[in-house]
Chains A and B, each alone.
Chain A
Amino acid sequence: MQQGVGQPEIAGRAEGGTSTPAPGNTLYPHYELGAAYDEMFAPDGAVRAQYHGLNGRLQTLPSGELMRRQHACEQSFLHQGITFTVYADAQATERIIPTDLLPRIVAAAEWEHIERGLKQRIQALNQFLLDIYTDGHVLKDGVVPRKMILGSRHYRREMRGVAVPHGSYVNVCGTDLVRREDGAFVVLEDNLRVPSGVSYMLANRDVVRRAFPNVFRAARVRPIEQYPNELLATLKSLAPFQEDVSIAVLTPGVFNAAFFEHAFLARQMGVELVEGRDLLVNDNVVYARTTSGLKRIDVIYRRIDDDFIDSLIFREDSALGVPGLFNAYRAGNVILANALGTGVADDKAVYAYVPRLIRYYLNEDPILPNVETFLCREEKSLNHVLANLDKLVVKAVGESGGYGMLVGPHASAKERAEFAEKLRADPENYIAQPTIQLSTAPTLVDGQVQARHVDLRPFILHGEETRIVPGGLTRVALKKGSLVVNSSQGGGSKDTWVLSQ
C-alpha cells in the first residue's frame, strides 16, 4: 500500500512495479502498468471485462481517427463556451478544460457498492450536522472533540437552532473517491459546501457518446441526463409547499470560474439564474427584480460560499451576496441549498472521524473506507506518525492547497526533524496519511493511448430522499506519472460510464 510515492495532492512519478505492456496487441505500445491499479488492464495485461467493447473498437479504428475525434470534442467544448478565462495578457484568452475522449468504465457491481457507500455517508454527515447545530449529542458523548468543532473556522454559530428542511444540510455533495492499489474505492474527501464539476460530467457524456455511439449502445451505459431534473426535484422537496415553488440558482457572476456550470444548471432545470444584485430582501422576504416588478423567491441553490452570501452577517466587504438574506433564511422565508455552515464537516480533521460518525449515527460499518488517517491529537497515533515520518504525508488540518504539509518520502532528514518538533508542539493541528497511488486509466496523449492517474467525483443529492445519478466526474492527471488531477494544475476530465450489467 505504501509502494508508490506521492500523494493525491502532490506531483509525483509512478515508480516501483514493472512496466508491463499489454500483450497480444500493438495498439498500446506506450501503455505502462505500474504499481497502481489499472482500470482497463489486469496485472497480467488481460483486458478487464467492462473494457472489452471499447478495446474492440480501438483495435479497428483507422490511425489518426482517434485524434480527429478528440479534436471534434475540443471544438465542441469551445463552441459551447465550456471554457475558463486565462488573464495572461491584455487580451484575455479562453481555454477549454481538457477533456479526454476515452471513457472511464465502472462495472455494475462496483457502482452498486459505491452507491450504497455514498448514501450511507451522506446520511451520517447530515445527521452529524443536524446534531452539532442542535443538541450536540456527538460532542457530549465525546465521539468528536467539542473544541475541534466549535473552534472550526467553518462552524457557523448563527446556524444554531435554525430549522433545516428534512434535517438535510448538505443537499448537493461531491465526494472524491480514489482507487487503491488493491482495487478498493476509498474516500479521499467530501465536498459539502458548493461542489462543482457536474456540468463537465454531462458535457463529457454528450461529446463522448457521439464519438463512440456503437460502443456506447452495446455497453448499455446507464444514463445520467436526468441529473438536472433530479436536482430540481431535490430543491423542490425542500420547500414547505409544493405548488408554484419559485427556485433560483445564485451565482457570483460571469467572472466566476464555474459560471458556465451555474448557467447550464439553471437552463437545464428551467429556473432563474440570479446574481446577488438581482435580489433584495424586504421584511425578511427575498425578491428578485424583474421587469414586471418584484417576484418572491422560495428556494435558492446558492453557488456562493458562506462567507460572501450576506454582508450584514458574514464578510461585510462582499458585494456578491444579498444583504439581509440570512435573516430571511432564519425566519424560514427562503430555503438555501446547501444550508450554511456545512463546511465544518468536510475539513481534514472531521474527515478522519467520518467512519466513527457512521457507526455512531447509523450503527453500521462504513461501506466505503477512508484513506487511512492518523489523528495526531491521539497519543498512539502521534507516536506512530513520529516513528514513520519518512513514509507518511502530514497535513495541517486548517490548511489547504499544500500549505503546512510534510511529504515524508520526499523530505530530508533535517526537514523531518523540524516538522517533528512542530508536531509535538501542536499535535491537534495535524493529521497524517500514507501515500497512495491513484488508479490509472487509458487516456489519449499525443495520439497514443497511455496510462494516466484518475479519481472519481460522484454527485449525491439529498433532500427528502437521496438520489445519485450513476456516474460522476472522472478527473485525470494528464502529465505522465502525476497524481494531481486538479484542472488548475494540468488536470483534465473524462466521461464516466457506469454499466447496467
Chain B
Amino acid sequence: MGAQPIMLARVADSLYWMARYVERAEHSARLIAVNLESMIEQSPEDAEAAWRRVAAALTGDDVAGADAFAVTQALAFDRTNAASLVSSLHLARDNARQVREQLSTEVWEHLNKLYLGTRDPTAQSVWAHQPALFFRQALEDLFTLGGVTYSTLRHGEGWRFLELGRHIERAQLVSRLLDIYFGVGAPSQPLPPPKYFDWLVLLKFCTAFEPYCKEYTAALKPETIAQFLLFDAEFPHSVRFSVDRVVEALGHVAPGAPPSRRANCERLAGRLKAAVDFGHIDELTGGTIDAFLVNITRQCEQIHDAVYATYIAYDAETVL
C-alpha cells in the first residue's frame, strides 16, 4: 500500500452530487434572471409562454395561467420543491458539508455564504426590489464559486469528480432545454412556436448569445442555434463540450482501478462522444432531433449508472 492519495467512494459520491446541484442552481438562477429581464419587452401572452418553457425546463411543471410572481416563487423559493433554486443550493451545501475536509476553505465558504444568502429572503422581499438583481447576484456568486473551485483545489481525483458531476448535469440540462424548444419536451398544452425573441432568450439561457453571434452573426436561425448548442467543440455550454469534459474526467478518476474495471464507463462515454463529435444538424431534420436529444439524455444516465456500479456503490467482494 503506497501513500498515494485515496478517494473514499462516499466522498466521490458527495463531490459528484455537490457539483450537479451547483450546476442545477446556476441553470435555475440564469433561466429565472434572463426571463425576468426579457419579460419586460414581451406581450403578456408571449411572457406566459416563456415562463411555461422555463418551468418545463426546470421542474417539468406546466404553469399555464400562473403569473410571473407565482412562477418565480415556485421555481426559486419553494423548499418543498426539490427542483427549486433554494433546494438545489441546500442539497449542494449538504453534500459539501459531508466532505468539508476535502474542499478548500474558499470553496466551502463561498458555497456556504450562497446557501445562507438564499435561505433567508422570501419571494416577497425579493420581488419588492428588482427581482432580477437578486438572481444576477446569485449568478455572480456562483461564478465566483466556479472560479475558486478551479483555482484553489488540486486538480486531483476529487476535482475530476466535480467536473464529472458538473458536465453530466450540464449536458442533460442543455439537452432538455433544446428539447422544449425543438420537440416533444414541451408542456402538455401546446405552446405557440418560438418567435425571434424567444430564440434570443434561449441563447441567453445558455450564456450563448455573444459567442453565437461571433460564429454565426446575429441572424438567429433555429438550425444554427441547435448546431451551436449541441455540436460546438469550444463553447462551454454546448453538449459536445460537456461530453468532452466527461470523457476527460473519466480518464482520471480512480487511478488505481485496473483497466478491466474501467472498461465499461469508458466505452459508454466514448460512444456518447462519437455521437456528438460526428453529429450534424443537417441530419436531424424532420423530427429526428427529438429522438437524438432523448438519446443523449439516456446515454448520460447510463454513464451515471456505470460510474456508480464501478467506482462508488460496488460490491466489496468483487475487489477483494
The interface of chain A, by Cβ under 8 A from chain B, is: 78-81, 91, 244, 246, 253-254, 260, 263-264, 266-267, 272-275, 277-278, 280, 282, 287-296
- On whether A292 and B116 interact (CB within 8 A), knowing A264-B101, A277-B10, the answer reads no
A79 CA to B8 CA in the complex, in Å?
26
- The interface stretch among B30-38, B275-283, B297-305, B311-319 is B311-319
- The interface stretch among B107-115, B136-144, B181-189, B223-231 is B107-115
A267 CA to B255 CA in the complex, in Å?
22
The one of A81, A91, A287, A295 that contacts B112, using a Cβ cutoff of 8 Å: A81
- On whether A290 and B9 interact (CB within 8 A), knowing A254-B98, A263-B101, A273-B101, the answer reads yes
- On whether A292 and B8 interact (CB within 8 A), knowing A79-B109, A244-B2, A254-B97, the answer reads no
* Chain A binding surface SS class: mixed
Residues of A within 8 A of B314 (CB): 289
A325 CA to B174 CA in the complex, in Å?
47
| Nearest-neighbor residue (CB-CB) of B109 within chain A | A79
B7 interfacial by beta-carbon distance below 8 Å: yes
Residues of A within 8 A of B178 (CB): none
> In the complex the two chains form, is A267's CB within 8 Å of B100's CB?
yes
Residues of A within 8 A of B2 (CB): 244
Other A-B pairs, 8, CB within 8 Å; known A278-B10, A290-B8, A291-B157: A80-B105, A244-B3, A253-B98, A254-B94, A278-B9, A289-B8, A291-B257, A293-B257
User: Nearest 7 pairs between A and B by C-beta?
Assistant: A292-B256, A267-B101, A291-B254, A291-B311, A263-B100, A263-B101, A290-B6
> In the complex the two chains form, is B3's CB within 8 Å of A292's CB?
no
A292 CA to B156 CA in the complex, in Å?
14
> In the complex the two chains form, is B98's CB within 8 Å of A274's CB?
no
The one of B9, B157, B320 that contacts A282, using a Cβ cutoff of 8 Å: B320
- On whether A290 and B108 interact (CB within 8 A), knowing A79-B113, A81-B97, the answer reads no
A–B Cβ pairs within 8 angstroms, 27 of them: A79-B109, A80-B105, A80-B109, A81-B100, A81-B112, A244-B1, A244-B3, A246-B1, A264-B101, A266-B101, A273-B101, A278-B10, A282-B320, A289-B9, A289-B10, A290-B6, A290-B8, A290-B254, A290-B256, A291-B7, A291-B9, A292-B255, A293-B257, A293-B319, A294-B316, A294-B320, A296-B1
- On whether A292 and B254 interact (CB within 8 A), knowing A254-B97, A263-B100, the answer reads yes
A193 CA to B207 CA in the complex, in Å?
55
B253 interfacial by beta-carbon distance below 8 Å: yes
A76 CA to B317 CA in the complex, in Å?
45
B12 interfacial by beta-carbon distance below 8 Å: yes
> In the complex the two chains form, is B8's CB within 8 Å of A272's CB?
yes
| Nearest-neighbor residue (CB-CB) of B9 within chain A | A289
A456 CA to B109 CA in the complex, in Å?
30
> In the complex the two chains form, is B112's CB within 8 Å of A79's CB?
yes
> In the complex the two chains form, is B6's CB within 8 Å of A292's CB?
yes
A47 CA to B38 CA in the complex, in Å?
66
> In the complex the two chains form, is B10's CB within 8 Å of A275's CB?
yes
> In the complex the two chains form, is B97's CB within 8 Å of A292's CB?
no
A292 CA to B160 CA in the complex, in Å?
14
Residues of A within 8 A of B311 (CB): 291-292
Tell me, rounded to whole Å, the shortest Cβ–Cβ distance linking B276 to chain A: 26
Residues of B within 8 A of A80 (CB): 105, 108-109, 112
Residues of A within 8 A of B3 (CB): 244, 246
A79 CA to B97 CA in the complex, in Å?
12
Residues of B within 8 A of A295 (CB): 1, 6
Residues of A within 8 A of B9 (CB): 278, 289-291
Residues of A within 8 A of B255 (CB): 292
Residues of A within 8 A of B8 (CB): 272, 274, 278, 288-291
> In the complex the two chains form, is A290's CB within 8 Å of B316's CB?
no
A273 CA to B112 CA in the complex, in Å?
20
A91 CA to B77 CA in the complex, in Å?
14
Q: Write out, one digit per residue, whether chain B residues 80-123 have a CB within 8 A of any chain A CB (1) or not (0).
A: 00000000000000100110111001001100110010000000
A293 CA to B257 CA in the complex, in Å?
7
> In the complex the two chains form, is A290's CB within 8 Å of B101's CB?
no
The one of A78, A253, A277, A288 that contacts B6, using a Cβ cutoff of 8 Å: A288
Tell me, rounded to whole Å, the shortest Cβ–Cβ distance linking B251 to chain A: 13
Residues of A within 8 A of B116 (CB): 78-79
A295 CA to B255 CA in the complex, in Å?
13
Residues of A within 8 A of B316 (CB): 280, 282, 287, 289, 294
Tell me, rounded to whole Å, the shortest Cβ–Cβ distance linking B14 to chain A: 10
A246 CA to B2 CA in the complex, in Å?
9
A184 CA to B261 CA in the complex, in Å?
65
Q: List residues 1-27 of chain B with CB under 8 A from any CB of chain A.
A: 1-3, 6-10, 12
Residues of A within 8 A of B6 (CB): 272, 288, 290, 292, 295
| Nearest-neighbor residue (CB-CB) of B255 within chain A | A292
Residues of B within 8 A of A291 (CB): 7-9, 12, 157, 253-254, 257, 311-312
| Nearest-neighbor residue (CB-CB) of B253 within chain A | A291
A91 CA to B87 CA in the complex, in Å?
12
Residues of B within 8 A of A260 (CB): 100
Residues of B within 8 A of A267 (CB): 100-102
Which of the listed residues A244, A289, A294 has the most CB atoms from chain B within 10 Å of its own CB? A289
| Nearest-neighbor residue (CB-CB) of A90 within chain B | B79
| Nearest-neighbor residue (CB-CB) of B7 within chain A | A291
A368 CA to B203 CA in the complex, in Å?
73
A91 CA to B261 CA in the complex, in Å?
42
Residues of B within 8 A of A264 (CB): 100-101
Residues of B within 8 A of A278 (CB): 8-10
Residues of A within 8 A of B97 (CB): 81, 254
Residues of A within 8 A of B105 (CB): 80
Residues of B within 8 A of A254 (CB): 94, 97-98
A291 CA to B314 CA in the complex, in Å?
9
A91 CA to B9 CA in the complex, in Å?
30
The one of B10, B113, B257, B320 that contacts A292, using a Cβ cutoff of 8 Å: B257
A369 CA to B215 CA in the complex, in Å?
81
A298 CA to B80 CA in the complex, in Å?
44
Q: Write out, one digit per residue, whether chain B residues 244-287 have a CB within 8 A of any chain A CB (1) or not (0).
A: 00000000011111000100000000000000000000000000
A266 CA to B9 CA in the complex, in Å?
17
Residues of A within 8 A of B312 (CB): 291
| Nearest-neighbor residue (CB-CB) of A277 within chain B | B10
Tell me, rounded to whole Å, the shortest Cβ–Cβ distance linking B89 to chain A: 14
A254 CA to B319 CA in the complex, in Å?
28
| Nearest-neighbor residue (CB-CB) of B12 within chain A | A291
Tell me, rounded to whole Å, the shortest Cβ–Cβ distance linking A230 to chain B: 18
Residues of A within 8 A of B157 (CB): 291
| Nearest-neighbor residue (CB-CB) of B94 within chain A | A254
Residues of A within 8 A of B100 (CB): 81, 260, 263-264, 267
Tell me, rounded to whole Å, the shortest Cβ–Cβ distance linking B13 to chain A: 9
Residues of B within 8 A of A273 (CB): 101
A290 CA to B9 CA in the complex, in Å?
5
Residues of B within 8 A of A272 (CB): 6, 8
Tell me, rounded to whole Å, the shortest Cβ–Cβ distance linking A81 to chain B: 6
A291 CA to B113 CA in the complex, in Å?
30
